[in-house]
Amino acid sequence: LAKTTQPISMDSYEGQEVNITCSHNNIATNDYITWYQQFPSQGPRFIIQGYKTKVTNEVASLFIPADRKSSTLSLPRVSLSDTAVYYCLVGYSTLTFGKGTMLLVSP
């Protein structure tokens, strides 16, 4: 299974755009890149998933370069409620959670 590396923590302010980059140098051909959000004592929540190029939904964008060895989750105009841990995962079905990124959004 591909291993991921992402920053341990990030700080931002309300209204700013936040970009969290994840490295996954050993990603396999059939692996997808998926990002989850987790609040304390709650189950992880799916944010976005992609295979290559750019994917956008109503809450985030995911940028994946051609070599697929990294990906960037972009959260536009964050709010206080976006304070959470964000996990980058690669795989086909089984999810292996690594160390997520603790995003703290301040007023």
Partner 1 sequence: AAGVIQSPRHLIKEKRETATLKCYPIPRHDTVYWYQQGPGQDPQFLISFYEKMQSDKGSIPDRFSAQQFSDYHSELNMSSLELGDSALYFCASSGRTAYNSSYEQYFGPGTRLTVT
Kindly list the residues in this chain that would bind partner 1 in the complex (CB under 8 A). 32, 34, 38, 41-46, 49, 51, 87, 92-100
Based on CB atoms, which residue is closest to partner 1, 40 or 107? 40
Name the minimum Å distance from CB 91 to partner 1: 9
Contacts (Cβ under 8 Å, ≥6 apart) of 68: 24, 27, 33, 51, 52
Based on CB atoms, which residue is closest to partner 1, 16 or 96? 96
* DSSP SS3 for 81: helix
Name the minimum Å distance from CB 46 to partner 1: 5
Based on CB atoms, which residue is closest to partner 1, 13 or 92? 92
Name the minimum Å distance from CB 93 to partner 1: 5
Beta strands in 1-107 (DSSP E): 9-13, 18-23, 32-38, 45-50, 53-56, 61-64, 70-75, 84-91, 101-106
CB count, 10 Å around CB of 54?
Answer: 11
Based on CB atoms, which residue is closest to partner 1, 77 or 99? 99
User: Using an 8 Å Cβ cutoff, are 3 and 97 in contact?
Assistant: no
Name the minimum Å distance from CB 37 to partner 1: 11
